[in-house]
């Protein structure tokens, strides 16, 4: 089957730093695909290039068989939605306004319906909808960031380290949420340093090291692989 998202030989530099040196990945529709790698491996750069924030030197990104537009705002409209690293909620906007900004491309009754949907998925956001996003805890901000992403009506959701800096209990909640999102038919491309979690949830995974993909396989295969266990699972 043709993959939903296909990245071919992608190369990205920041000045002299080669952040991606020919990365190719495929994401099948309806799956959760994880990319694991250490800090600085190029994971965020890959997502930022797919969503148009960073321009590539070479290579291709195809979504549903077509090249993506250049502008980030046009890419979102295609259904490729990126929830950035560090949550990046708009701290001085209310929770409701954060969600409405997420739904910027949509108007009227549909927008209200989407909002209602997020509130029922995340009751805490409804309770605190008129408070500033900056008043939320880390875990709640991550929920808000994901909910805001869902407001953009993703076909594929790019999640950058959603478990970063969160307590294990909260991480489990976030991962339950990712499963729910997949079960609703939204494809997920998940980037993580937390390899155990990310490999445990995914259908397929890639290992990114210094800007190249060194290994790939199903989550189980990688969890059993010696190389992965040594480098990412503490032996």
Partner 1 sequence: MSLQILLNGLATGSIYALIATGFALIFNVLKFSNFSHGATMTAAAFAAYFLVSANGAGLAATLAVAGIAGAAIALFGEFVGFRRITLNHSSSTYFFVSSITLGTLYEGLVTVKVGSNFYNFPRFFTNPTINLGDFVISTSDIMMFTISMVALIILAYVIQKTRLGRALRAVSFDRDTAQLMGIDSTRIIQLTFVISGVLAGIAGVFLGIKYTLYPTLGSLVVKGFIASVIGGLGSLTGAVIGAVLLGVVETILLSVLGSGYSTIATFAIMLVFLLLRPQGIAGSNVQEKA
Ligand X SMILES: Nc1ncnc2c1ncn2[C@@H]1O[C@H](COP(=O)(O)OP(=O)(O)O)[C@@H](O)[C@H]1O
Q: What is the 3-state secondary structure (H, E, C) of the chain?
A: CCCCEEEEEEEEEECCEEEEEEEEEEECCCCEEEEECCCCCCHHHHHHHHCCCCCCCEEEEEECCEECCCCHHHHHHCCEEEECCCCCCCCCCEHHHHHHHHCCCCCHHHHHHHHHHHHHHCHHHHHCCCCEHHHCCHHHHHHHHHHHHHHCCCCEEEEECCCCCCCHHHHHHHHHHHHHHHHCCCEEEEEECCHHHHHHHCCEEEEEECCEEEEEECHHHHHHCHHHHHHHCCC
Rounded to a whole number of angstroms, the minimum distance from the CB of residue 210 to ligand X is: 8
- Site size for ligand X, by CB under 6 A? 11
Task: State the binding partner of 14 from partner 1, Mg ion, ligand X, none, CB within 5 to 8 A by kind.
Answer: ligand X
Rounded to a whole number of angstroms, the minimum distance from the CB of residue 106 to Mg ion is: 29
- The contact pattern for partner 1, residues 45-64, with x = CB under 8 A and - = no contact, is ------xxx-----------
Nearer to ligand X, 41 or 178 (CB): 41
Among 101, 124, 170, 233, indicate the residue that binds partner 1 (CB under 8 A): 101
- By the rule CB under 8 A, 164 interacts with partner 1: no
- By the rule CB under 6 A, 39 interacts with ligand X: yes
- By the rule CB under 6 A, 30 interacts with ligand X: no
Residues that bind partner 1 (CB under 8 A): 51-53, 71-73, 76-77, 81-84, 88, 90-93, 97, 100-102, 104-105, 107, 148, 151-152
């Amino acid at each position: 089957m043709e993959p939903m998202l296909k990245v071919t030989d992608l190369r990205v530099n920041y000045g002299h730093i080669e952040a991606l040196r020919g990365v190719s990945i495929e994401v099948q529709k309806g799956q959760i695909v994880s990319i694991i790698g250490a800090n600085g491996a190029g994971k965020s750069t890959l997502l930022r290039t797919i969503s148009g924030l960073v321009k590539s030197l070479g290579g291709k990104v195809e979504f549903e068989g077509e090249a993506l537009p250049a502008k980030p705002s046009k890419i979102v409209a295609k259904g490729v939605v990126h929830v950035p690293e560090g949550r990046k909620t708009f701290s001085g906007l209310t929770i409701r306004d954060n969600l409405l900004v997420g739904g910027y491309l949509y108007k009227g009754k549909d927008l209200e319906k989407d909002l209602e949907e997020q509130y029922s998925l995340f009751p805490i956001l409804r309770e605190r909808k008129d408070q500033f996003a900056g008043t939320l805890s880390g875990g709640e901000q991550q929920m808000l960031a994901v909910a805001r992403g869902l407001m953009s009506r993703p076909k594929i959701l790019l999640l950058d380290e959603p478990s970063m800096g969160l307590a294990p209990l909260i991480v489990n909640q976030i991962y339950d949420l990712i499963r729910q999102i997949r079960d609703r038919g939204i494809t997920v491309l998940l980037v993580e340093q937390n390899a155990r979690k990310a490999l445990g949830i995914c259908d397929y995974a890639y290992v990114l090291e210094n800007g190249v993909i060194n290994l790939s396989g199903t989550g189980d295969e990688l969890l059993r692989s010696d190389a992965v266990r040594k480098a990412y699972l503490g032996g």
